[in-house]
Amino acid sequence: MNALLEVENLSKQFGGLRAVQALSFEVREGTILGLIGPNGAGKTTVFNLLNGVFAPDEGQVRFRGADITGLAPFRVARHGLARTNQIVQPFANMTVLENCVVGACFGRENLPLARAREAAREAVTLVGLEDRLDALASQLTIAGKKRLELARALAARPTLLLLDEVLAGLNPVEIERMIGIIRTIRDSGISILMIEHLMQAIMSLSDRIVVLNSGAKLAEGLPAEVAADPMVIGAYLGDPGFVDKLRES
């Protein structure tokens, strides 16, 4: 399997805080890589470094062989890398369809409007929001906004999708539905890098897992290997609930 995304020695400091420290990992084509770690470990910052919200202080990001380090977000999107945001950011006064058309227009292909609308409709259908096409984003429930966030990213027809806690705030039924949608996306050939606190879900979805702690990689491996790693369990000792969840999964 080829590496789709190669991250090498990535570092980012905010003032005196080393948010990401010499981090290296890769996402292989057709797979789901899970990125986990305690609150404040640096997970979202990694996404911000990958899609150009921040430029790294050090390190390199290669995507499909191209060096995309420090490129502006709209350029990274053109390379075929799309993301969702941990805090949902729909255009509140635009409809579901319009939000996704924006995603499609700024995506991998330079789609004309009619084709962008088609890509947007497909994405909306994939996440199950087709009966809310004309609803304003502000009218959706949290679960609906999460699905819209995913649809907007999908409408960009990415090669790699970055998901930042798409299960957070959902009830068990909504979680099951979202897990099904993520599997469908992966089966359609889109590779996925996902951040998730919900251990059972991330352990069952991921092909491999990278564990971050204080900005640095603490462990990497198959879900079962990571769950059994004493270093990983130790890193979460401040959160006994987490250890229980890790063992259950």
The footprint of ligand ATP (CB under 6 A) covers 14, 17, 19, 37, 39-45, 86
Least distance between Mg ion and beta carbon 195 (Å):
6
Nearer to ligand ATP, 39 or 93 (CB): 39
Shortest Cβ distance from residue 11 to Mg ion (Å)? 18
Number of residues that bind Mg ion (CB under 5 A): 3
Which strands, in side-by-side order, build the sheet including 191-195? 81-83, 160-164, 191-195, 32-36, 208-213, 216-221
| Minimum distance, C-beta of residue 162 to ligand ATP, in the bound complex (Å) | 12
Distance of CA 243 to CAs 16, 238, 240, Å?
A: 30, 9, 5
198 binding partner (options Mg ion, ligand ATP, none; Cβ < 5 to 8 Å by kind): none
CB of 153 to ligand ATP, least distance (A): 17
- Residue 44 near Mg ion by CB under 5 A: yes
Closest by CA to 99, choosing from 52, 139, 45, 72, is: 139
Minimum distance from CB of 195 to ligand ATP (Å)?
7
Q: How many Å separate Cα 66 from the centre of its chain? A: 20
Whole-Å CA distances, 66 to 41, 62, 76, 189: 27, 5, 11, 20
DSSP string spanning 86-140?
Answer: SS----TTSBHHHHHHHHHHTSSS---HHHHHHHHHHHHHHTT-GGGTTSBGGGS
Contacting range for Mg ion; rule: CB under 5 A; set: 48-56, 84-92, 186-194, 221-229: 84-92
Contacted by 156, from Mg ion, ligand ATP, none: CB < 5 to 8 Å by type: none
- Count how many Cα atoms sit within 13 Å of the Cα of residue 212 in the half-sphere of its side chain: 32
**Which of 43, 157 has the CB closer to Mg ion?**
43
Residue with Cβ nearer ligand ATP (12 or 157): 12
> Which residues between 184 and 223 bind Mg ion (CB under 5 A)?
none
For binding to Mg ion (CB under 5 A), which residues are involved?
Answer: 43-44, 86
